[in-house]
Chains A and B, each alone.
Chain A
Amino acid sequence: MLIKLGKENLHSEFVELIERISGEELANCYQCGNCTGGCPVSYAMDFGPREIIRLLQLGQEDTIKSANSPWLCVGCLQCYCRCPKGVSAAKILEALRQLSLRKGESHEEIKEIPFPFLKNAPQQAIVCGFRKFVS
């Protein structure tokens, strides 16, 4: 993967926004990878939590924007509980998700959600799913 580095990446508006929404300071992460080690869904992610933070540290907005990682984070907080620096990758992934949703970009279309799921699933799954996936 070709990475371009420059002032415009390292101090981009996008990265500042993610820091502001998440309340996390990206520089606190020293890339030990404990978060990815504990993440139950990292196997299905384009980039695990550690890589997402690294890409943000390097201001790689385009690469991050197309990654599926934020939509797969379940918010189980294993990453945060394992982090020796107290960084919450879950908050950072949530901020990425929020940024899309706040722009009106939904990840799931309500009309495409299968009826048996809506009928049988616990209400909390539907409410939580809507909050995480639908703008």
Chain B
Amino acid sequence: MKIPYYPGCTLNTVAKGFDTSARESAVLLGFELKELNQWNCCGAAFPLTPDNVMGLTAPTKVLVNARKEGDTVTTLCSVCYNVLKRTNKVVKDDKEKRSVVNTFIEEEYDGSLNVIHYLEVLRDKIGFDKIKAAIKRPLKGIKAGAYYGCMLLRPFEDMGIDKADGPTIFEDLLKALGCEPVEFPNKIECCGAHLAMGNEDVVTKLSGSVLSSAKNRGAEIIVTSCPLCQYNLEKSQKGLEGGAGGTQMPILYFTQLLGLALGQDEGTLGLEKNLFDVKQLLKERGI
């Protein structure tokens, strides 16, 4: 099975490990992430104001290119997923905007693509049971906080990846990998997002709340699907150069954990890029 795949800018650069761990774990699970032949940045923010049609052009171009390669596209970054899925819905449902966007980019796109997150591929196309059966290195007893953040879920009526009142897709995957998922109150709260540009103190406070909330419930690591959440959560801890936070917790992409559990070659996991190394913890647990 080949699934057309949109990496997005960040996975092509600073979050390379997110990309390589996903591709490799796909192979171990018997499918292939087929990178789109042509793609551009999604715009990194869905235009909130409905009169801002210009903000829909970049993501629509991505959708047009993806449609040429099949009826489904998958992505890993929560923001790309949010932008592409919401844009697709606007183009599909709003005739007037569809016509403006198509005229501008000189394409004829109708919104007939199915935008899914890699987590949905794992749940719906592979199945968590099958993943569980394929595990070579169970992450026994690792207490992991599944951090959804904002973009995977909100607005609930557009995203629909999971139930609005208590999503579990992330925890279900962690269970399949042998981890012990930790419920924590801030799991769907914001990390501070783009305020990293110019408002670091706000990010430190917001991410700090996420970190302490997870730590207070016993989490040893936090797992995310967004490179910006990963960056903000790492930066808001007690880093090598000081830092305001009181925690020192490894922040991993869910695909890094998946790859680890599937016995993937560690060279393609990108763990060395993480500010706080998870290897020590694995060693302590004999994993």
Report B-chain residues with C-beta under 8 Å of the C-beta of A129. Answer: 194, 196-198
Give the secondary structure class of A's interface.
helix
Select which of B9, B41, B195, B205 is within 8 A of A74 by beta carbon: B195
B76 to chain A, nearest CB (A): 12
A108 to B50, CA, bound (A): 24
Select which of B10, B50, B199 is within 8 A of A122 by beta carbon: B10
A44 to B199, CA, bound (A): 10
A124 to B56, CA, bound (A): 16
Residue A128 is within 8 A (CB to CB) of chain B in the complex? yes
Are A128 and B49 interface neighbours, CB within 8 A? no
A30 to chain B, nearest CB (A): 21
Residue A117 is within 8 A (CB to CB) of chain B in the complex? yes
Are A127 and B44 interface neighbours, CB within 8 A? yes
Report A-chain residues with C-beta under 8 Å of the C-beta of B48. Answer: 75, 88, 90-91, 94
Chain A 104-128 against B: per-residue CB contact (8 Å), 1 yes, 0 no? 0000100001000100111111111
Given A20-B51, A23-B50, A90-B48, CB of A123 within 8 Å of CB of B9? yes
Report B-chain residues with C-beta under 8 Å of the C-beta of A21. Answer: 49, 51
Select which of A75, A94, A123, A131 is within 8 A of B14 by beta carbon: A123
Q: Which of B170-222 contact A (CB under 8 A)?
A: 189-190, 192-199, 202, 205-206, 209
Report B-chain residues with C-beta under 8 Å of the C-beta of A41. Answer: 190, 195, 202, 206
Q: Which of these binds chain A: B113-121, B122-130, B149-157, B278-286? A: B149-157
Chain B 50-81 against A: per-residue CB contact (8 Å), 1 yes, 0 no? 11100100000000000000000000010110
Are A72 and B199 interface neighbours, CB within 8 A? yes
Are A22 and B49 interface neighbours, CB within 8 A? yes
Q: Which of these binds chain B: A46-54, A55-63, A76-84? A: A76-84
A85 to B145, CA, bound (A): 33
A132 to chain B, nearest CB (A): 6
Given A40-B190, A95-B49, A133-B197, CB of A122 within 8 Å of CB of B202? no
**How many interface residues does B have (CB within 8 Å)?**
42
Residue B38 is within 8 A (CB to CB) of chain A in the complex? no
Residue A98 is within 8 A (CB to CB) of chain B in the complex? yes
A50 to chain B, nearest CB (A): 18
Residue B28 is within 8 A (CB to CB) of chain A in the complex? no
**27 chain-A/chain-B pairs, Cβ below 8 angstroms:** A22-B49, A23-B50, A40-B209, A43-B205, A72-B195, A74-B150, A76-B150, A76-B190, A76-B193, A77-B154, A78-B150, A81-B156, A81-B164, A91-B49, A91-B50, A94-B48, A113-B198, A122-B15, A122-B230, A122-B231, A125-B193, A125-B196, A127-B45, A128-B45, A128-B194, A131-B55, A133-B197
Closest 7 CB pairs of A and B: A129-B197, A76-B190, A127-B44, A123-B9, A94-B48, A128-B194, A76-B150
**A interface list, Cβ under 8 A from B:** 20-23, 40-41, 43-44, 72, 74-78, 80-81, 88, 90-91, 94-95, 98, 108, 113, 117, 120-129, 131-133
**B interface list, Cβ under 8 A from A:** 8-10, 13-15, 41, 43-45, 48-52, 55, 77, 79-80, 150, 154-156, 164, 189-190, 192-199, 202, 205-206, 209, 227-228, 230-231
